[in-house]
């Protein structure tokens, strides 16, 4: 039994070793990617359901690896979070999204009334100077604070010290920046969350939108969320809208805004200028 135990341990050890190797490799190439500017942003339009016009964009990071091609954020954001590289990466994303939005505003005056949404990770939210950093980026790029919308998740807000997250969010709001609660409905404390934090918009997770046609119960849930949000003065954006049917249902439910492949996939910056010209002729 002792021998078997040892053999098993060795197998386990080899797998762990391989995983640790792969992780380390990804970490090293992430570090290099930052230095070599292998990241870029795509922008997905967000649409008002009352006007059918764009109200802004969400910036989504992409990594163009020299050998492996485009790597999805779902694959590298978790590693960036574990290693702390999300801090410099997140800074770059914020800076680039604000710079780009300001450039579009100068090119297309209509963009002055649109917002740029940027995802913030949990680690970013535990930096005491986050509001200061954001303020410097806004001043540096010349983007108005009211044109920036920061997306946070419930897990992101679940700091060891809830007060820390609350203080940081209050400071961010003080700048005039908008706040969205991302992936709403996937966690477990959603309702307390919208109560305790100064949220302007709820982003209803894709799973609700996907399942609306399956059971009227899902429609009832979405209706209840929209009603609750409205009573608290919070707007609702539905994520992952892929079909005309889903859009029609969301319109019946008086959802404020929507985002998804039905309207547009995340676009490269060059494609955004075409989109703006088409959306605001
Ligand atoms: P998220 O913030 O929930 O972003 C929405 C994701 O849904 C994006 O995936 C988007 O491409 C995808 N999506 C949009 N419309 C549809 C649709 O109609 N159907 C389907 N199936 N998917 C749709 P993406 O770009 O792969 O990003 C995945 C996640 O990675 C994001 O989820 C976010 O959590 C994270 N992420 C992306 N960029 C950043 C970033 O700059 N910073 C941080 N911290 N996280 C990021
Ligand atoms: Ca998001
Ligand atoms: Ca989301
Ligand atoms: Ca997500």
Lowest mean pLDDT: which of 98-107, 184-193, 195-204, 220-229? 184-193
Verify whether ligand 1 is closer than 6 Å to residue 182 (CB atom): yes
Q: How far is CA 12 from CA 5, 9, 19, in A?
A: 11, 5, 11
Question: Would the pLDDT of 3 be above 60?
Answer: no
Q: What is the DSSP string of 99-136?
A: HHHHHHHHH-GGGGG-EEEEE--TTGGG-TTHHHHHHH
State the Cα–Cα distance between residues 169 and 128, nearest whole angstrom.
Answer: 10
Verify whether ligand 1 is closer than 6 Å to residue 237 (CB atom): no
Q: For residues 203 and 180, is the Cβ–Cβ distance under 8 A?
A: yes
CA nearest ligand 1 atom 45, residue:
119
pLDDT at 160: 65
State the pLDDT confidence band at 119, using cuts at 50, 70 and 90: very high
Question: Would the pLDDT of 204 be above 60?
Answer: yes
pLDDT at 121: 93
Q: Write the pLDDT tens digit of every residue in 38-62.
A: 999 999 999 999 999 999 999 999 9
CA 23 to chain centre: 24
State the pLDDT confidence band at 193, using cuts at 50, 70 and 90: confident
pLDDT at 220: 87
Q: Ligand 2 centroid vs 151 CA: distance in angstroms?
A: 6
State the Cα–Cα distance between residues 221 and 238, nearest whole angstrom.
Answer: 13
- Ligand 1 atom showing the smallest separation from residue 93 Cα: 41
pLDDT greater at residue 135 or residue 193: 135
- Ligand 1 atom showing the smallest separation from residue 242 Cα: 18
**Degrees (nearest 5) of the Cα angle 15, 21, 23?**
105
pLDDT at 161: 64
pLDDT at 17: 80
CA nearest ligand 1 atom 15, residue:
260
Q: Average pLDDT over the chain, rounded to whole?
A: 90
pLDDT at 32: 94
CA nearest ligand 1 atom 12, residue:
240
pLDDT at 251: 94
Verify whether ligand 1 is closer than 6 Å to residue 242 (CB atom): yes
Top mutation candidate among 70, 77, 123 for ligand 1, by most atoms within 8 Å of CB: 77
Q: Write the pLDDT tens digit of every residue in 95-114.
A: 999 999 999 999 999 999 99
DSSP alpha helix (H) spans, 60-215: 73-83, 86-107, 130-141, 154-157, 162-175, 190-196, 206-211
Long-range contacts for 18-23 (Cβ within 8 Å, ≥24 apart)? 23/79
- Ligand 1 atom showing the smallest separation from residue 151 Cα: 2
Q: For residues 44 and 28, is the Cβ–Cβ distance under 8 A?
A: no
Verify whether ligand 1 is closer than 6 Å to residue 73 (CB atom): yes
Lowest mean pLDDT: which of 9-18, 22-31, 70-79? 9-18
- Ligand 1 atom showing the smallest separation from residue 259 Cα: 15
pLDDT at 59: 98
Token pair 């570090």 in the structure block, residue: 31
Q: For residues 258 and 49, is the Cβ–Cβ distance under 8 A?
A: yes
The encoded tokens of residue 8 equal 């098993």
Give which of 46, 25, 107 is closest to 264, Cα–Cα.
46
What is the value of pTM for the model shown? 0.93
Q: Ligand 1 centroid vs 207 CA: distance in angstroms?
A: 13
Q: Write the pLDDT tens digit of every residue in 124-170.
A: 998 989 999 999 999 999 999 999 999 999 888 876 666 688 899 99
Verify whether ligand 1 is closer than 6 Å to residue 266 (CB atom): yes
Q: For residues 175 and 136, is the Cβ–Cβ distance under 8 A?
A: no
Verify whether ligand 1 is closer than 6 Å to residue 12 (CB atom): no
Give which of 143, 118, 106 is closest to 44, Cα–Cα.
118
- Ligand 1 atom showing the smallest separation from residue 77 Cα: 45
Verify whether ligand 1 is closer than 6 Å to residue 88 (CB atom): no
Mean pLDDT for the stretch of residues 75-80: 92
Q: Pairing state of beta strands 54-65 and 39-48?
A: antiparallel
Q: For residues 136 and 77, is the Cβ–Cβ distance under 8 A?
A: no
- Number of other CB atoms surrounding residue 26 within 10 Å: 20
Looking at the chain, the whole-number percentage of residues with pLDDT higher than 70 is: 92
Q: Write the pLDDT tens digit of every residue in 234-267.
A: 999 999 999 999 999 999 999 999 999 999 999 9
């Amino acid at each position: 039994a002792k021998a078997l135990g040892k053999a098993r341990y060795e197998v386990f050890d080899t797998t762990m070793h391989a995983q640790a190797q792969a992780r380390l490799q990804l970490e090293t190439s992430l570090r290099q990617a930052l230095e070599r500017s292998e990241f870029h942003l795509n922008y997905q339009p967000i649409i008002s359901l009352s006007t059918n016009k764009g109200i802004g964009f969400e910036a989504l990071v992409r990594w163009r690896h020299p050998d492996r091609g485009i790597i999805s954020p779902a694959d590298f954001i978790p590693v960036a979070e574990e290693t702390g590289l999300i801090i410099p990466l997140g800074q770059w994303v914020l800076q680039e999204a604000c710079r780009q939005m300001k450039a579009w505003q100068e090119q297309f005056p209509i963009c002055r009334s649109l917002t740029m949404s940027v995802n913030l990770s949990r680690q970013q939210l535990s930096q005491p100077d986050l509001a200061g950093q954001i303020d410097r980026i806004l001043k540096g790029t010349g983007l108005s604070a009211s044109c920036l919308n920061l997306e946070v998740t419930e897990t992101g807000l679940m700091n060891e010290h809830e007060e820390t997250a609350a203080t940081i969010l209050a400071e961010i709001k003080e700048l005039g920046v908008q706040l969205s609660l991302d992936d709403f409905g996937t966690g477990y404390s959603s309702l307390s969350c919208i109560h305790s934090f100064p949220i302007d918009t709820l982003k209803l997770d894709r799973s609700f939108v996907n399942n609306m046609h399956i059971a009227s119960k899902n429609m009832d849930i979405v209706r209840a969320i929209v009603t609750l949000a409205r009573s608290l003065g919070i707007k609702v954006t539905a994520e992952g809208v892929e079909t005309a049917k889903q859009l029609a249902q969301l319109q019946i439910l008086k959802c404020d805004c929507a985002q998804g492949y039905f309207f547009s996939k995340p676009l490269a910056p060059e494609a955004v200028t075409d989109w703006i010209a088409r959306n605001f002729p």
